[in-house]
Amino acid sequence: MSVTLGNVSLGNRDSIFFHKRLTEAMPFDRVFIYGPIMTQRYVGSLGGSGEASVSIYVNNAHVAGQNFFMESSDSGPQCISGTLFTPPVTIPANTTPTIKVVLTTHGAGITYPTSGIGMLFKVSSQWTNM
């Protein structure tokens, strides 16, 4: 069984969160939250570096986090991408928890806002669902 949380988007030096209260009670008490992540930045003439961080909250309690880095580069568009995959997260069985995914970008150098993408996140009870 897996549940799609949805997708989020954001600009550079920005933070956004997606949260969803599950409408069906989960019959299990350990879940994984996973999904591909990509954020886009545009760096000015001084160049710079980039980072994206993801934090996962279940019922407002921080349960996992992950950072994605990008090498310093010349000016122009840059992309930070990776796959979020949390360790097992314990939730009360047969409840409808609220799951929140917070995606934040950080950058060095002169940056300009661009669109970014946080892809679909899923919650799953089994490794084989991934």
Is position 86 within any domain? no
Is position 57 within any domain? yes
Local confidence band at 85 (pLDDT 50, 70, 90 cut-offs): confident
Is position 11 within any domain? yes
Distances (CA, A) of 121 to 32, 57, 126: 10, 13, 15
Is position 125 within any domain? no
Is position 128 within any domain? no
Sign, Cα dihedral of 99, 49, 82, 117: positive
Q: Is the pLDDT of residue 42 over 70?
A: no
pTM of the shown model:
0.61
Range of the structural domain that residue 112 is part of: 2-81+97-120
Nearest to 51 by CA among 115, 105, 111, 102: 105
% of the chain surpassing 70 pLDDT:
34
Is position 101 within any domain? yes
Higher pLDDT, 9 or 17: 17
Amino acid in position 9:
S
Is position 37 within any domain? yes
Q: Determine the pLDDT at residue 60.
A: 81
Cβ count near 130 (within 10 Å): 12
- What's the total number of domains in the chain? 1
